[in-house]
Amino acid sequence: MKKWMNTAAPVLVIGALLLLWELVVWFAGIPLYVLPAPSDTLKTFVQEFPTLMYHGGITVMEALVGMGISFVVGILMGILIDAMPAFKKCIYPILVVTQTVPVIVLAPIFIIYMGFGYAPKILTVVLMCFFPIVVSFSDGLGQMEEGYLNLVRTYGGSRLQLYWIVKIPSAMISLLSGLKVAATYSISGAVVGEWIASQGGLGYYLIRAKNGYMLDKVFACVVMIILLSLMMNGLVKLFGWMFTPGIRKR
Amino acid sequence: MRLEVRQLSFSYTDQQILRNLSFSVEDGEFVSILGPSGCGKSTLLNVLAGILQPLGGEILIDGEEKKEISGSFAYMPQNDLLLPWKTILDNVCLYGEIHHRKAQMKEQARAQMARFGLQGCENKYPGELSGGMRQRAAFLRTTLCEAGIYLLDEPFGALDVITRGDMQDWLANLSSSLKKTILLVTHDTDEAIYLSDRILILGAPGEGIREEIRITEKNRTREWLYGQGEMRLKIHRIIKEKQRNGNEKEE
């Protein structure tokens, strides 16, 4: 009963809010260009699904490439931060500063430097995604119990083996947490980049729909962005499930 | 392998733990080290294992001085330290993985699984095993190190009383067939009496070995152990006496 309630409660709350929204729009007679009802959004989502899929494909591609670059950069920087305290002291403040500048400010600058292609969008994704990966991974590397490291040392393990055999696998849980955050940000990052200037992607679709006061399409696009963000999060969970079987059975 | 420690000293920043400590362990001998908390038992094993660097002194193995971490010692700490993301088979082959002989070691490990009560556990993860089984896996990992001297730092200290007793029985049977030099650090007087050929009792930090007790009984059983009240009392007296002397000195 309790388990059923845990699942049903959020569904019921969301359902009730959507119903309230629907009723307010219908009874108040709010026009479509001000606030579309959930039923209008759903109808538009179904009608526009092929177009949303096309633009969504571009956004996902940018997000995946950005995530891939963030992953590689994040792993390398995480190891360097853990292995070299001096590097951490030098680089950590810069990493924090990069996160204090709003992406919406940086995206137009990237477009000036890199043109209207995929590169500035991917860079926007990287900027949003690499920070949680670096922080979570370097923290995970630093939290390994000294006893494990001593054991490998007494067995004659090299520093490289210390990382490969013990530290990196032990940091996987922290890394997965960072990756989940980054995956959720990745779609938004790509959309922000497309929003500024692009010829395709959900950001491009969104700005065109907004300029035409087609708010049902804007809302349908938001639904698509939410679904794709959840999908990226799910991919990270799947990655974790596949590559960390021992951690599942702890 | 014969182990000889000469004039070994070690100090943390604020306290000297080992001062000119000397003792030896013969080839194939089982020696336990007892002593009050903080007297330097675990520190001694850490120095021998190469985790801590001594201030001075010599460590000789079969008469030759050991300078850095060598393959002579197999160290087993109190916690099993099994890597939770690796299967039991992969865990026990850690030494082989480090020295690029994993496949060969897996064969050896499979052959030893039953002897260590781990048959059928090859593909399980540490989280799926009981405390006793995990310790046995950690011990198998230690024996696969191809080292001549085992350094056991309270290997059963984290187990409940019943499991600890079972593990002591198991180790008593196993150690006679292993024919290795074993140095065991323990707080448990009964464990030391039951398993050892010789017991070294350390005094307060820096005092060194205060007493050495040789146990000659070959046919050891639990019943024999229960009858060793006098020896137990003697060991407790030595430990407490030295503690008291240490406190008097401090006062």
CA distances from residue B123 to A242, A249, B85, B87, B126 in whole angstroms, order as listed: 16, 12, 11, 5, 10
Q: Please report which confidence band the pLDDT of residue A77 belongs to, taking 50, 70 and 90 as the band edges.
A: very high
Query: Same domain for B165 and B140?
Result: no
Q: Please report which confidence band the pLDDT of residue A250 belongs to, taking 50, 70 and 90 as the band edges.
A: low
Q: Chain A contact for B97, CB < 8 A? A: yes
Query: Same domain for B155 and B222?
Result: yes
Give the pLDDT confidence of A175-204 residue by residue, as tens digits: 999 999 999 889 999 998 898 888 899 999
CA distance B50 to chain A (A): 7
CA distance B77 to chain A (A): 8
| CB-count burial class (<10 Å; 0-12, 13-18, 19+) for B214 | exposed
Query: Same domain for B131 and B216?
Result: no
Nearest residue of chain B to residue A168 (CA atoms): B85
Query: Same domain for B52 and B174?
Result: yes
> What is the total residue count of chain A?
250
Give the pLDDT confidence of B105-162 residue by residue, as tens digits: 999 899 888 888 888 999 999 988 988 889 889 988 988 887 888 899 888 877 778 8
Q: Please give the pLDDT value at position B116.
A: 82
Q: Please report which confidence band the pLDDT of residue A231 belongs to, taking 50, 70 and 90 as the band edges.
A: very high
Please name the fold of domain A49-242.
MetI-like fold (1.10.3720)
Query: Same domain for B59 and B179?
Result: yes
- CA B18, B24, B27, B30 dihedral sign is negative
Side by side, which strands form the sheet with B181-185?
Answer: B73-76, B149-153, B181-185, B30-34, B198-202, B209-214
Structure tokens at A161: 């083996």
> Residue A214 contacts by C-beta under 8 Å, 6 or more apart in sequence?
A33
Whether residue A98 contacts residue A131, with contact meaning beta carbons closer than 8 Å, is answered with yes
Q: What residue has token string 């074993």?
A: B182
Q: Taking the model in full, what pTM does it have? A: 0.77
> Residue B238 contacts by C-beta under 8 Å, 6 or more apart in sequence?
B201, B210, B211
**How high is the ipTM of this complex?**
0.80
What are the backbone angles phi and psi of residue B12, rounded to the nearest 5°? Answer: -85, 170
Q: What CA–CA distance (Å, rounded) separates B77 from B156?
A: 9
Whether residue A224 contacts residue A58, with contact meaning beta carbons closer than 8 Å, is answered with no
Give the total number of structural domains in chain B: 2
Domain segments of chain A as ranges: 49-242
Q: Please report which confidence band the pLDDT of residue B51 belongs to, taking 50, 70 and 90 as the band edges.
A: confident
Range of the domain at B97: 81-146
> What is the total residue count of chain B?
251
Q: Please give the pLDDT value at position B71.
A: 67
Q: What CA–CA distance (Å, rounded) separates B10 from B4?
A: 16
Query: Same domain for B157 and B63?
Result: yes
Query: Same domain for B174 and B50?
Result: yes
**Contacts of residue A247 in chain B, CB cutoff 8 Å?**
84-85
Query: Same domain for B85 and B29?
Result: no
**Residue B161 amino acid letter:** V
Phi-psi category of A193—alpha, beta or left, where left has phi over 0 and alpha has psi -120 to 50?
alpha
Query: Same domain for B41 and B139?
Result: no
- Across the interface, whether the CB atoms of B85 and A246 are under 8 A apart is answered yes
CATH number, domain of B17, equals: 3.40.50.300
